[in-house]
Amino acid sequence: MNSNSFNRKDKAFSTLFVLIFMVVGIFFLKATAAVFAPIVFAVMISFMLFPVMQKMEKHHIPRTLAVIIIMSVLAVVVYFIVVIAQNSFNLFINNYPRYLQQFQEIYYDFSNKLIEKFELQVQPDIFAGTNWPRMIQTYVISFSSSLTKMAGYTLLIFIFMFFLFLEYPYLNEKIKDAFSFREAKKFNIISTRILNLVGRYFFIKLIISILTGLEVWGVLKLLGVDFALVWGGIAFALNFVPTVGSTAVVIMISIQGIVQFYPDVFLPTIVFLLNLGIQQLMGNLIEPRIQGSNLNLSPVLILLSLAFWAWLWGPLGAILAVPLTVMMRVMFSYFDSTRFLSILMSTGYSKKK
C-alpha cells in the first residue's frame, strides 16, 4: 500500500517536473528567438545543401572550395532578393498617391451604396484627418529597420552554415568516440533519416516555391497587375508556410486587383481565379504527389505546429514548423517511451493499409 502510494507520488512528481521543464524551455526559446531561430534555420538549410557538397567532393572539388562556392551562390541570391525588395518598395512609395485616390473612390462608392440601400450611417471621410506623408515616412523607417534586422539574421545564418559545412564530414567520427557502438548506430540511423526527410522536404519545397512564384509573376504580368515581380517574390516566400501562406497570397493579390482595376469587376475576378488555380495546382496536386507520404504528419498537427512555431519564432518559425515537427516525430518513433507520441502525430494511413 505504502509502496503504491510512493510510486504514484513519484510519477506525479516526475510528470510535474517534465511539464515545468517544458514550459521553462518554451519561454527560454521565446526569449532567445533572435539567436536560436537563425541557428535552427541554418541547420535546416544545411540539411538541404549537404548532398550538394558531397556531390562536389565526389567530383574532386576540395571541401573548403565547395563550401565557398555554395556560400557565394547563396550570397548572390540574397543580394538580388534585397535589391528587388528595395526597388519594389521605392516603386510603391512613388505610386502611393494613385492608390490612395483609388482607395478613396472605393470607400466613397461603397459608403453611398450602403446609405442608399440600407440607410446605414457610415463614418465620414476617414481620409481627411490622416497625415499620409507622415504615415509613409513611418513605413519607410520600419522597412529600413526590418532590413537591418534581416541583415543581422542573414549574417548569423551564413556564419553558422559555414562552420556546419566544415564540421559535417567529421560528425560520424565524433559520435563513435562519444557513444557506445549501439548508441552511435542508433544516433546515425535517426540523424540520417532526419537529414534525408528534412533535406528532401526543403528541396522539393524550394522547387515548388520557385515555380509558384514564376507562375504568379507571369500571370500578373500578362494581366497588367502592378508589382508583378513583388507578388511573385511574396508567393515564393509564403509558399514555405503551409496552408496559410497560399491563402494569404491569393487574398492579398485579389485586393491589389480590386484596388487597381476598380470599378472593373471582370479583371479582378480573373486575377483571383487564376491565382487560386495556381495555388491549388501547385499546393494540392503537384507538391503532394512529389512529396508523397514521407512526412506522415497529421493535417491538424501541421496547423497546430504552424501556430505554435509562428508564435515562438515569428516568420522563421512558420517556415520551420513542418521540418521541426517531422524531426520530433522521427525521434519519438525510435524510443519505446515516446513511440505513442509519434503514432499520434502521424496521419495513420500507413496502418490502415
pLDDT tens digits for 92-109? Answer: 777 777 777 787 788 777
100, 127 contact by CB (below 8 A): yes
pLDDT score at 274: 94
pLDDT of residue 251: 92
Which residue matches cell numbers 491563402? 247
Mean pLDDT, residues 135-163: 76
d(CA 131, CA 128): 8
Contact 313, 33 (CB under 8 A): yes
Percent of the chain residues topping a pLDDT of 70: 84
Residue 253 neighbours by CB distance under 10 Å: 26
Helix 181-223 crosses helix 244-261 at what angle (to 10 degrees)? 10
Q: Average pLDDT of 150-154? A: 78
Sorted by where each begins, the domain ranges of the chain are 32-178
| Whether the predicted pLDDT of 88 surpasses 70 | yes
Task: Using the predicted structure, report yes or no on whether residue 182 has a pLDDT greater than 70.
Answer: yes
CA–CA gap between residue 178 and residue 250 (Å, rounded): 50
pTM score, two decimals?
0.81
What cell does 336 get?
A: 519505446
Cα Rg of the chain, angstroms: 25
Q: Is it the case that residue 265 has pLDDT exceeding 60?
A: yes
Lowest mean pLDDT of 23-27, 54-58, 292-296, 321-325, name the range: 292-296
So what's the pLDDT on residue 348?
A: 63
Q: Which amino acid is at 89?
A: F
Between 227 and 119, the higher pLDDT residue: 227
Whole-number Å distance between alpha carbons of 70 and 59: 15
* Burial bucket for residue 303 (CB in 10 Å: 0-12, 13-18, 19+): middle
Task: Report the half-sphere exposure of 280 (CA within 13 A, side-chain side).
Answer: 6
pLDDT band for 20, please (50, 70, 90 cuts).
confident
| Residue 171 pLDDT | 76
| pLDDT band, residue 218 (cuts 50/70/90) | very high
Average pLDDT (135-162) is 75
pLDDT bin (cut points 50, 70, 90) of residue 217 is very high
Indicate if the pLDDT at residue 192 is higher than 70.
Answer: yes
pLDDT at position 250? 93
pLDDT value for 125: 58
The pLDDT mean for the chain works out to 81
The predicted structure's pLDDT at residue 267: 92
How far does CA 254 lie from the centroid of its chain? 22
Return the pLDDT at 128. Answer: 58
Measured from the Cβ of residue 92, the count of other Cβ atoms closer than 10 Å reads 16
Backbone CA torsion sign across 174, 175, 180, 185: negative
Distance of alpha carbon 2 from its chain centroid, rounded? Answer: 53
Comparison of pLDDT for 351 and 258, the residue scoring more: 258
Q: How far apart are CA 345 and CA 328, in angstroms?
A: 9
Cα–Cα dist 310/324, whole Å: 12
pLDDT band at 19 (very low <50, low <70, confident <90, very high): confident
Q: What average pLDDT does this structure show over 330-352? A: 74
Residues near 325 by beta carbon (within 8 Å), at least 6 away in sequence: 297, 301, 302, 305, 345
316 Cβ contact list (under 8 Å, min separation 6): 37, 38, 40, 41, 153
- Residues 41 and 314: beta-carbon distance below 8 Å: no
State residue 352's pLDDT score: 46
More confident residue, 311 or 340: 311
